[in-house]
Structures are given as C-alpha cells and as structure tokens.
Chain A
C-alpha cells in the first residue's frame, strides 16, 4: 500500500464540463450499464474499445489525468498478486512451465489479465462518477434508483439517504484510516513486511481505532442532523428534480451502444 490508501475513490471536483452537467440519474444508470459491459468484455478488441472510451471520458470530464486514472496505479501490487495467482495456479492441460505446485499456462495468464483489466476499468469508471457528481447529486440519483422499492412499502428515501451518506463517508474514513496507519507505523507496525503473518498482525491493531473514529463521526453527524430538525427522510423536502436533458439521454444511448458492442465483439 505504498503511498497510503487515500485517494482510491475521489472526492467531487466541481467543474462545468459536459460530464459534470449531465443529469446525475443518467450518470448513475450509465455507470450501471457500463458495469454490465465490463462483465461482458472479453478479448483484445473488447478491452481496446473500453480503453478508448475511458480515454474519451477522461477528456470530456476535464479532470486532471492523475485524479481520473491515478487510482489504478495505487492498486498495482494487488493487480500483480491477482495476475500471478491466476497465471501460476490455473489448472491447464497444456502448461508452459511446471515446478512444484506452480503451473504457468496461457489460459491462466489470459484469465489473470481478464480479472485485472476488469477491476481496473471498474475503478476508473467509479472514480469518474464520484469526481464529477456532487453528494446531493448522488443522493438524487440513488433515490431514483431505489424508488421502485416504494411499491413494496419499503422506505426508499431512507435507504437512499443511508447509501449517499455511506458514499460521502468513504473519503473521510479513508483519511482517518491513513492517519491511524501512520500512527501504527510510528509505533513499529510492519505493514511493508514480506511475511504474511507480520503483515496480518500489523493490520489487527488498526481495527478498533478505525471503528471508534468512524462511530465518533457518525455520532457528530447524527447530533448535527437532529439539532437541525431532521426527523427522517420521509418528512424531508427536496428540490424539484429537473427533467432529463437531450445530452443525458444521448449519454445513456452511448453507454448502451458500448454495452451492445462488447456483446457483439
């Protein structure tokens, strides 16, 4: 975890680009369509199409390259482990190399590359969504997503509120975790050790402080919300939602087209 754990999911960066202006519901539904496309992506051409699309998305979003794609590099050690585990332990009839418990095969390497590419694409997509959508926007989009639950007499507004607060807490808690991690390193924790049990033992003392810090934040927020008269999402008023614009529909169509192309390739 070189360079800390912060920044894996970005905070909203205000802007006035096409991606920023898109309706937040279109962005969330488009994101879900693209996740489906990622699941169906297979083969070199499929990944090339996705890579070109992600580059275009980064260009349209106007985000700094480091913010838009940097999160992929921060998980490099994870990708290497995932790739090696697939490449060296895949059961194959036609191994390229075999030694002890390790079997290197072409199928294993392809499987490992597939998993790594899919994870990397999902991370970039989610990063773009979070960086270009405000907290209120994400809550509006989530409300639209869970609205059908109302027909089952489930508290859709409250569920949307909980989910949007969870997403807003992620960057804050990542920072808290990073601070606690640094404090543990100062006390002699060996996160960079090559030994598995030393790494695991170093993680364990972080668990209780992280929960205490998180619950302290939760306590402060709930006191603040109650002090301002919040009595549940049901009684909450909301700004009138704008209708979906032409560009939002067009964005959804593009996402659907990418998904269809990934099925056909």
Chain B
C-alpha cells in the first residue's frame, strides 16, 4: 500500500497533536458549560477525539479517548466520576475506529474517507458504550430505550455538528498546511481566503 498523506507526519508531531487534542477535550466542554445539559446534547468532547484518531492514527486516538475525559474530570469534575468510565470506553472506541478506518479505507476521495470513518466510528462507539453500560457499569438497570434516548435522540445536535465540522476542520488544517494532504495529487477546492477568514 502506498503510504502517503497523514503518514508523512513525524511521531513527534503526532504526539504534540494528540496532546493538543487532549487539551481541547478539556477546553471545548468548558466553552459550552453555560448551556444547560450541553455535554450530552452537543458532545463537544467527541470532536477532538475524532480528529485525533483521523489525523494521527488509532494509537493516538486511543490515548486521546482515554486521557481526555480523565483529565477533564480530574480538573473540573466534568464528566462526573461515576459517568467517566463509560465515556472513556466510548471515546476510546471512537479514536481507535476512526484511526483504523482512515488507515485502511482509501477511496481516493478525502471527503468519502472521512465520512465513512466517522459514521463507522460513531456507530461502533455507541454500540460499545451501550454494551459496557449494560454489562458492567449499570448492570440490570439499563435498557434499549435508555440507550436509544441517551446515544441517539438526546445527542442528535452533537452528531450534526460533528458531521459538519470535523471534515471542515480537517480540510482547513490541510489548507493551512498544518497537516499534510491525504491525497497529495488532488487539489483542495476550498475558496482562497477562507482560512484567513477563520
């Protein structure tokens, strides 16, 4: 397999990007904290974990998914400690699956790769978190209805934000040459001056 794109980044750069994403796992929820129940509706912590997995690979996505909620919980008490293990499992699956999908799915179209990776990671992460809650953390007190309500209905604005913003952020980072292009032979069709506007 021809390895290009993200794999051109050095391990040092991947480590620093992972560190930044872990820090963002703390900062993004803090921005949303003025909004009632924002964590479960907008899922701000999910965005850096997906981005870390998609850009740096599954090892770093795993670390970001585990460390992000742990550091946020230790520094601000959010997510609450009782809820943190489930969240760590969910985010770790997101990071790992997003990284693995980006490694093995290569359709020659970055948008398709990104959306496929995101969709599969979101589905598997939610299923994994539901299984872990049903079998370990809330054994006997968890139902399919609770899973549907918690992981599909409440958080639909967050899913929408992730679908819109994660590919946008990744393309913006490519355009700003902060990460390499996934398919260097393809040109980015983002309007000139868009990055400066951001």
Residues of A within 8 A of B (CB): 1, 5, 8-9, 31, 35, 39, 75, 77-78, 81, 85, 115, 118-120, 122-123, 126, 130, 158-159, 161-163, 165-167, 169-170, 173-174, 177, 181, 191, 196, 199-200, 203-204, 206-212, 214-219, 221-222, 225-226, 230-232
A159–B22 CA distance with the chains assembled, in angstroms: 12
A211 touches B169 (CB 8 A): yes
Asked whether B74 is an interface residue with its Cβ less than 8 Å from the other chain, the reply is yes
CA distance A217 to B176 in the complex (A): 13
Rounded to whole Å, the gap between the CB of B182 and the closest CB of chain A is: 16
Could you tell me which B residues sit within 8 Å of A by CB distance? 10-13, 15-20, 22-24, 26-28, 30-38, 42, 47, 51, 63, 67, 71, 73-78, 80-81, 157, 161, 165, 168-169, 172-173, 176, 178-179, 195, 198
- Residues of A contacting B36 with CB < 8 Å? 81, 85, 196
Assembly CA distance A119 to B157 (angstroms):
26
CB <8 Å contact, B63 and A159: yes
Are B28 and A218 in contact, with the CB atoms below 8 A? no
Q: How far is the CB of A211 from chain B (nearest CB, A)?
A: 5
Please list the 4 inter-chain residue pairs (A to B) with the smallest Cβ-Cβ separation, ordered nearest first.
A119-B77, A165-B19, A166-B22, A169-B23
Q: Are B24 and A9 neighbours in the complex by a CB distance under 8 Å? A: no
Interface residue SS majority, chain A:
helix
Known: A122-B74, A163-B67, A166-B22. A222 touches B13 (CB 8 A): yes
Instruction: Point out the residues of chain A lying under 8 angstroms from B18, CB to CB.
Output: 162, 166
**A contact residues around B73 at 8 Å (CB):** 122
Name the B residues within 8 Å of A211 (CB-CB). 24, 51, 169, 172-173
Q: List 6 A-B contacts (CB under 8 A).
A: A75-B76, A81-B36, A120-B77, A170-B75, A211-B51, A225-B12
CB within 8 Å for A174 and B27 given contacts A163-B19, A199-B35, A215-B20: yes
Q: Verify B23–A166 contact, CB threshold 8 A.
A: yes
Residues of A close to B75: CB separation below 8 A: 9, 122-123, 126, 130, 170
How long is the Cα–Cα vector from A211 to B51 in the complex, in angstroms? 10
